[in-house]
Amino acid sequence: MTDHQTLKSRPLTDVRMAIRQGGYQSHTAGLGAGYLQCNLAILPQAFALDFMRYCQRNPKPCPLVGVSDTGNPMMFTLGHDIDIRTDVPAYNVYRHGALVDTVTDIRGLWTDDMVAFALGCSFTFEHALQKAGIPVWHIDNDTTVPMFRSDIDTVPAGPFRGKMVVSMRSVDAGQVTAAAATSRRFPLAHGAPVHSGDPAAIGIADVMCPDWGDPAPVASGQRPVFWACGVTPQVAIEAAAVPLCITHRPGHMLITDIPEDAEVPVLSS
Query: Domain-by-domain residue ranges, the chain?
Result: 4-119+237-259, 123-228
Q: Are strands 245-248 and 91-95 parallel, antiparallel or unpaired?
A: antiparallel
Task: Give the SS3 label for residue 146.
Answer: coil
How much is the pLDDT for 1? 81
How much is the pLDDT for 266? 52
Task: Give the SS3 label for residue 185.
Answer: coil
How much is the pLDDT for 269? 41
* Sequence-separated (6 or more) residues with CB below 8 Å from residue 70: 45, 48, 112, 113, 114, 115
What is the DSSP secondary-structure string of 195-231? Answer: EES-GGGGT-S-TTS-SBS------TTEEEEEEE-TT
How much is the pLDDT for 45? 97
What is the C-alpha separation between 202 and 194, in angstroms, rounded?
10
CATH class of 4-119+237-259: alpha beta
What is the C-alpha separation between 247 and 92, in angstroms, rounded?
5
* Residue 147: closest CA among 202, 93, 228: 228
Exposed / middle / buried, residue 151 (Cβ in 10 Å: 0-12, 13-18, 19+): exposed
List the chain pLDDT tens, one digit each, 269 residues: 888 889 988 999 999 999 999 999 999 988 988 888 999 999 999 999 999 999 999 999 999 999 999 999 999 999 989 999 999 999 999 999 999 999 999 999 999 999 999 998 888 888 889 999 999 999 999 898 999 999 999 999 999 999 999 999 999 999 999 999 999 998 888 999 999 999 999 999 999 999 999 999 999 999 999 999 988 998 999 999 999 999 999 889 999 999 877 665 555 44
Q: Are strands 64-67 and 245-248 parallel, antiparallel or unpaired?
A: unpaired
How much is the pLDDT for 9? 84
What is the DSSP secondary-structure string of 46-115? Answer: HHHHHHHHHHHH-TTT--EEEEPPTT--B-TTT-SS-BTTTSSS-EEEEETTEEEEEES--TTT--TTEE
How much is the pLDDT for 170? 97
pTM for this prediction:
0.89
How much is the pLDDT for 125? 86
What is the C-alpha separation between 210 and 189, in angstroms, rounded?
21
CATH number among 3.40.50.2300, 3.30.2040.10, 3.30.2290.10, 3.40.190.10, domain 123-228: 3.30.2040.10
Contact (Cβ atoms closer than 8 angstroms) between residue 186 and residue 35: no
How much is the pLDDT for 197? 96
